[in-house]
Structure 1
Amino acid sequence: MNKIRIKLLSLLTAALLAASVLTGCSNDTSSSSSTSDTTSKIKVEYSSEDIDGTWDDSAATKVSLRGNSIAVDGSGASANGGTLTIKSAGTYVLSGTLTDGQIVVDAGQEDTVKIVLNGAELKSSNSAPIYSKQSKKTIITLAKDTSNKIEDAASYDYAEGEDEPDAAVFSQDDLTINGAGSLSVTGNFNNGIGSKDDLVITGGNIAITSANDALRGRDSIAIKGGTFAITAGGDGLQSNNDEDVEKGWISIDGGVFKITAESDGIQATTSLVVNSGTIDIAKCYEGLEGASVTVNGGSIKIKADDDGLNAAGGKDGSSVNVRPGENSFSNDSPYFIRITGGYVTIDAEGDGIDANGSLYISGGTMLVNGPTNSGNGALDYDGTCDVTGGTLAIAGSSGMVQSPSDTSSQSSLTVYYSSVQKAGTLVTLSDESGKPVLSFAPSKDYQSIVISSPELEQGKTYTLNSGGTNSGKLKDGLYTGGTVSGTTKLADIKLSSIVTRISDDGSEVTGRMGGPGGIGGQGRPEGGKDVNRKPPEGMEPPDGMQPPEDMTPPAKEQ
């Protein structure tokens, strides 16, 4: 295991998991982050060697890259043509250009090898430029104020029966990247940076273009800092160990991410936890996906071809136009999405928030735009949706509408519009004094909206307005402060219960639709169909957002 200390504690919850503990070994720690969920707790402690981007130059072996040859000054490594082989623990400082060759780490099983890229450019015509075949841990340090480049071949030459390495930077064991320099990685063959064990990144300005996944840590990925520009033909970040429920997780504890991915932005087989950082996923199939997804902090912006946040949705392969690569999730894993803080904005073609299990929201800000088709919902869950805090503005189509559960402790209002509201049409809910409690202009057409805020109180009356303008501060469609003008009053609503559902004329909507928390019918059996679902009288959606004639939606898209 990596010298980061990792604990995954599974706690007993209603018919889910018995307690289990995973503990890595390290006594040298200097920074930690943790997150607690209903069913799991991940604690990551970054060791000083994971964070330290300095080195003792006087004790280091100097490696000079000279086109198609390599010169070595020091011990622990030897060169043969364009191949450098590192055989023992130590620090190796690389500079210069290697036009066609490879850095191979083949050290002892208890050896920690530190490779310093000090203005180095490495290319290979038939394999991975950096291949850590064996060590306890390989650390790649990006020297401050340097630019470094790594580019692999479009096809690899393997010995018979072998299929590794499979990334431009590849390690069979734990891999750490730190430092204050920059690194450009081009993974022409498959992945950009990959580890068969734990991948830890604590610093650096890193740009990755990859044919498949940009960052892959089979057992785990833990990121404390760094700036990332990622263009991936597969997932942006992926942890894919599906054989051990205590592995296959991702923890984002800092950093700035700009991700464009053909598959998922960030995908973990077990848990995905965001504690801090700034994540901008400009294109993806699904934004954040895992058996469980937890957001404790940070700023997350997602534009997804399917779901924005998804708990265990890829296991059955259902999707918009068929998922590009199915994911495997254990049947005995707890599936949930938990949001305790942070700022999340989603533009989704599929479900905005999709929990194939339960959804827990206790803090933060959640803004959802879309979907516009009635086969998906802006809010979608199979268990319960407990809202105990936070600000929610969740706008989308009307065919699969779900509201928070009545087990919530924070009040919510769901509005069903009789006609499609155009993108940018302001929704304002004001209190009895006329002060806006929430004022939101969705970026896509919508026919329903779920609103929840700590300012909403049972027993009080609020006014729902449509259109007009707001003089307050605007961010992602949400206005803060200011006053509204030029609006059309739709209705006065008295919140008589935790969950209030109305049509846009103020009349109460009862029953359930689209599963727990929705309206009409008795929810959905396995497979996602609600054969009993019917809209309330006068609430039939117009052309363009119309569900099937018999009001039976297609199978729920995961």
Structure 2
Amino acid sequence: MNIHKQTGKILMPILVSGLLLGACGQVAESQASASTSSSSETTAATASSATDASGDTTTSTYGTYEEEDLETTYDEAEAVTINLSDDGTEASDGVTVDGSTVTITQAGTYVINGSLSDGQLQVSVGAEDKVHIILNGVTINNNDGAAINITEGEKVITTLASGTENTLTDGSSYTLATDETEPDATFYSKADLVINGDGKLVIEGNYSNGIRSKDDLILVSGEYDITAVNNGIKAKDNLSILDGTYTVTTSEGDGLQADNEDEADLGNVYIDGGSFTINAGRDGVQAISNLMVQNAEMTITTADGASSTSVDTAESYKGLKSTGAIEIASGTINIDSADDAIHANATISVLGGTINAASGDDGMHADTNLSISGGTVDIQQSYEGLESSIIDIAGGEINVVASDDGLNAGGGSDTETTTGTFGADSFGGQMGGGMEADESKELNISGGTLIVDSEGDGLDSNGIITMTDGLVIVNGTTSGGNGSLDYGSSFDLSGGTLVATGTSDMAQNASTASQTSVGITYDTTQEAGTLVSLVDADGNTVFSFSPTKTYSHVVISTADLATGDYTLVSGGTNDGTESNGYYTDGSVSGGTELATLSITDTITNLTSTGETATATGMMGGGGPQF
């Protein structure tokens, strides 16, 4: 199933349980058929399962896998056996031999054995013919061309026979016809190509690509060890991966790629499972249209990772990259990238799974909309953590470490900007006094847990911030010119728990609120780890937090906070339950009582001595700063 490119404010929270059901029954039926077929070959692949946004397990897939794609069995009586040999491969019905080139010319099933030290296995059948190849411990090297070259056919299904290792190698230069640039891969196909089975395929792509299909490429199962100069695994139309184990290393290209930019519904990468270790000279996984991931275990490194120093800024070194949309439903994804860890020119939607990312630029960047509704997201290193025109946080456990803004609802393409290694928001992380607000930019928080450690702005929107629920903790900048909260138009706060610490010179509170929010400005910088507590008139500790950095301003908003008098306590200890420095219960003891704070409205700004705060610093776009 193809997901068309989308623009504007778009969420995709139900794709796993809704849009993808079309392939579900097909995979399950194929599994049953393949596993009961009589055969001398290996077991069929297992249908994938996914966890949807509600936590229920489904058996839907992003890619489409036909029954024949999962079939690894064959009828020995009808199969043709080809024994490759440098001493001369024998021709037979459907097989021609021209020197060291062995060509399959008819539809059917072929079992391939043996080796060629400098030759080629070619498939050239009718445009509507299908071929099933079983690689049964094959070694093919071609010094000046593709090891396997599929020149014509409707579909070629390649099965990696159980217990075998198959090796394909090419040379560093090809002998091609005049004005021709292809084939350009060790395993090359102009037809739809499917690879299944539980054997192993080793590919050395010394010329350009490892595996390439000019149509659809479907990888059902098997073990793959691919080294390539350019792209490791490349499809033109769609790349669909159901399962398997993949080790892919490239020096100048992407790990996985689909690149059809001529048709809107093609150029997609669908990953429904599998284990991936990708070390890419450029992007880890790139889709010219959409990139969808579930059930996969992925470890991706681009260039020398987030700390790369020798990269070409005209090139791309992103972990997951899509010109259209990216959706992540489940699985574990670890990314160490020189450029953005996850980047989409349209939307990013995280429904579940675990994402651990270290980036030399943005943790996640979407041009139009970035939404997180579930899962665990840990941005361990970034220039900006999460960036998009519209950011929606509805659920999940999110941790962001950023050298500039933690979350930036500023939007725009990286190519349009001037700061950061590969580009970041054009405002340098702040609105500034004269910058005009843009209410099309939104940061909306309606659930989840969000922990931000930033040296620029913590939560930054060039337009609007809204918060209705969830837990947000910001350990903001320790230097001037930024604030833990920064918005250009308004911050409407109506629920959840908000704690934001940082410097006071660019500090902002909410602009409108139906839940009490207090901003406290200290006359001296407080040391990191110094407990901030509010105690009510009855002696109950209603708030207690230990910032991880020095601070001179705190914004506090919880459902437990109301208008009235509170004692501000600095230091001491809390005997309650703590997570990320925030205490959800317990009592404070041993601290210093600084002042009585009289909270008189839903938005109150006071000094640490209990006086009404006066505005300082630059006004940011219309929101009050204190």
TM-score higher than 0.5 = yes
Aligned to 2:188: 85
Distance 1:3 1:506, change over 3 A: same
CA displacement, residues 335-366 of structure 1 (integer Å, 9 cap, x when unaligned): 11011111011111111111011101111111
CA displacement, residues 29-64 of structure 1 (integer Å, 9 cap, x when unaligned): 7789799xxxxxxxxxx9933179994433875457
Q: How far did 1:115 drift?
A: 1.0
Q: How far did 1:66 drift?
A: 4.0
Aligned to 1:501: 605
Aligned to 1:326: 423
Distance 1:65 1:468, change over 3 A: farther
The amino acid that maps onto 2:525 is V
CA displacement, residues 438-473 of structure 1 (integer Å, 9 cap, x when unaligned): 211100000000000111223x22221110001112
Match among 369, 393, 399 for residue 271 of structure 1? 369
Aligned to 2:578: 474
The amino acid that maps onto 2:156 is G
Q: Secondary structure at 1:365's aligned position in 2?
A: strand
Q: Secondary structure at 2:61's aligned position in 1?
A: helix
- CA–CA distance in 2 between the matches of 1:317 and 1:80? 38
**Contact 1:77/1:84 (<8 A) preserved:** no
Match among 89, 94, 115 for residue 219 of structure 2? 115
Aligned to 1:58: 73
- CA–CA distance in 2 between the matches of 1:359 and 1:374? 22
Q: How far did 1:315 drift?
A: 7.0
- CA–CA distance in 1 between the matches of 2:568 and 2:592? 9
**Contact 2:169/2:186 (<8 A) preserved:** yes
Distance 1:318 1:382, change over 3 A: farther
Distance 1:251 1:216, change over 3 A: same
Aligned to 1:206: 298
Distance 1:365 1:7, change over 3 A: same
Aligned to 1:381: 487
Aligned to 2:202: 97
- CA–CA distance in 2 between the matches of 1:419 and 1:375? 18
**Contact 1:77/1:88 (<8 A) preserved:** no
Cα-Cα RMSD: 3.4
- CA–CA distance in 1 between the matches of 2:276 and 2:61? 19
Aligned to 2:548: 443
- CA–CA distance in 1 between the matches of 2:343 and 2:290? 12
Aligned to 1:526: none
**Contact 2:62/2:272 (<8 A) preserved:** yes
**Contact 1:4/1:26 (<8 A) preserved:** no
- CA–CA distance in 2 between the matches of 1:449 and 1:318? 34
Is 1:280 the counterpart of 2:378 in the alignment?
A: yes
Give the paired residue count.
463
**Contact 2:452/2:475 (<8 A) preserved:** yes
User: Where does structure 2 lack aligned partners over 5 or more consecutive residues?
Assistant: 11-17, 25-49, 75-131, 159-167, 171-184, 260-266, 304-316, 427-436
Aligned to 1:541: none
The amino acid that maps onto 1:76 is V
Aligned to 1:138: 239
Match among 275, 279, 285 for residue 193 of structure 1? 285
Aligned to 1:422: 527
**Contact 1:92/1:114 (<8 A) preserved:** yes
Q: How far did 1:323 drift?
A: 2.1
**Contact 1:66/1:97 (<8 A) preserved:** no
Match among 394, 403, 427 for residue 509 of structure 2? 403
The amino acid that maps onto 1:139 is S
Q: Give the stretch that moved more between structures: 211-220 or 64-73.
A: 64-73
Describe how 1:22-421 pairs up with structure 2 within 5 A.
Answer: 28=22, 48-50=60-62, 55-58=70-73, 62=134, 66=139, 68=141, 76=156, 83-89=186-192, 91-93=194-196, 95-100=200-205, 102-107=210-215, 113-124=217-228, 126-133=229-236, 135=237, 137-143=238-244, 147-153=245-251, 155=252, 166-172=253-259, 173-179=267-273, 181-188=274-281, 190-211=282-303, 212-240=317-345, 248-312=346-410, 322-326=419-423, 334-405=440-511, 407-421=512-526
Distance 1:68 1:452, change over 3 A: farther
CA displacement, residues 378-431 of structure 1 (integer Å, 9 cap, x when unaligned): 1000010000111011000011011101x2211100000000000000001123
Distance 1:250 1:363, change over 3 A: same
**Contact 1:62/1:92 (<8 A) preserved:** no
- CA–CA distance in 2 between the matches of 1:387 and 1:249? 25
Relative to the length of structure 1, the TM-score reads 0.75
Distance 1:25 1:363, change over 3 A: closer
The amino acid that maps onto 1:58 is T
Match among 457, 467, 488 for residue 592 of structure 2? 488
- CA–CA distance in 2 between the matches of 1:316 and 1:104? 29
**Contact 2:332/2:355 (<8 A) preserved:** yes
Q: How far did 1:65 drift?
A: 7.0
- CA–CA distance in 2 between the matches of 1:332 and 1:345? 25
**Contact 2:149/2:189 (<8 A) preserved:** no
Distance 1:313 1:200, change over 3 A: closer
Q: Secondary structure at 1:76's aligned position in 2?
A: strand
Q: How far did 1:116 drift?
A: 2.6
**Contact 1:297/1:340 (<8 A) preserved:** yes
**Contact 1:174/1:199 (<8 A) preserved:** yes
Q: Secondary structure at 1:167's aligned position in 2?
A: coil
User: Where does structure 1 lack aligned partners over 5 or more consecutive residues?
Assistant: 12-23, 36-45, 156-165, 241-247, 521-558
Aligned to 1:549: none
**Contact 1:271/1:291 (<8 A) preserved:** yes
The amino acid that maps onto 1:298 is G
The amino acid that maps onto 2:225 is E
Relative to the length of structure 2, the TM-score reads 0.68
Aligned to 1:535: none
**Contact 2:193/2:213 (<8 A) preserved:** no
Distance 1:344 1:392, change over 3 A: same
**Contact 2:362/2:424 (<8 A) preserved:** no
- CA–CA distance in 2 between the matches of 1:356 and 1:123? 44
> Sequence identity of aligned pairs in percent?
30
Q: How far did 1:86 drift?
A: 3.7
Distance 1:362 1:512, change over 3 A: farther
The structure number with the bigger radius of gyration is: 2
- CA–CA distance in 1 between the matches of 2:138 and 2:227? 11
**Contact 2:506/2:625 (<8 A) preserved:** no
**Contact 2:507/2:553 (<8 A) preserved:** yes
Q: How far did 1:84 drift?
A: 2.0
Q: How far did 1:312 drift?
A: 1.1
CA displacement, residues 127-168 of structure 1 (integer Å, 9 cap, x when unaligned): 1121112x2x3202233xxx4201112x3xxxxxxxxxx522
